[in-house]
């Protein structure tokens, strides 16, 4: 806190991204790793690519600290994630991708001598 800024150590658990086995095995491993990370001083557990509501519910229930979920297509809505007890939501590179696409469309319109604010450039 010497810099006047809080720091959150978000411990990423990759078993849903790179793990092997079925959902139950991945869940067990994510819970095991998540709790070990928290014991080691992490502030939050980030089981990246966990997207199933039932699995997320179990992660929140069984991990002894806050859980972070990556919001992407196929993930429960933000309201559902809140109802499941998710403490933190990340958007990964999704927001950057959307902004970059929008910027590309606007620049293409300018390059073509068109207004960057037409429906086609801003949609």
Cα separation, 110 vs 14, in Å, equals 42
pLDDT tens digits for range 20-62: 889 999 999 999 999 999 999 999 999 999 999 999 999 999 9
pLDDT of res. 46: 97
Q: Can you give the CATH number for the domain in which 43 is found?
A: 3.20.20.60
Residues 109 and 52 in one domain: no
Answer whether residue 82 shows pLDDT above 60: yes
Per-residue pLDDT, averaged over 81-97, amounts to 92
Question: What is the pTM for the complete model shown?
Answer: 0.79
Please give the residue range of the domain that contains residue 120: 93-123
Say if residue 81's pLDDT is above 90: yes
Distance CA 38, CA 59 (A): 13
- Domain count of the fold of the chain: 2
């Amino acid at each position: 806190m010497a810099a006047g800024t809080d720091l959150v150590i978000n411990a990423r658990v990759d078993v849903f991204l790179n793990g092997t086995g079925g959902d139950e095995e991945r869940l067990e491993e994510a819970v095991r790793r998540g709790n070990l990370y928290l014991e080691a001083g992490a502030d939050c557990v980030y089981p990246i690519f966990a997207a199933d509501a039932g699995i997320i519910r179990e992660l929140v229930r069984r991990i002894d600290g806050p859980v972070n979920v990556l919001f992407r297509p196929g993930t429960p809505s933000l309201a559902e994630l809140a109802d499941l007890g998710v403490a933190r939501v990340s958007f990964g590179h999704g927001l950057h991708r959307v902004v970059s696409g929008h910027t590309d469309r606007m620049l293409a319109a300018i390059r073509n001598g068109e207004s960057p604010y037409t429906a086609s450039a801003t949609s």
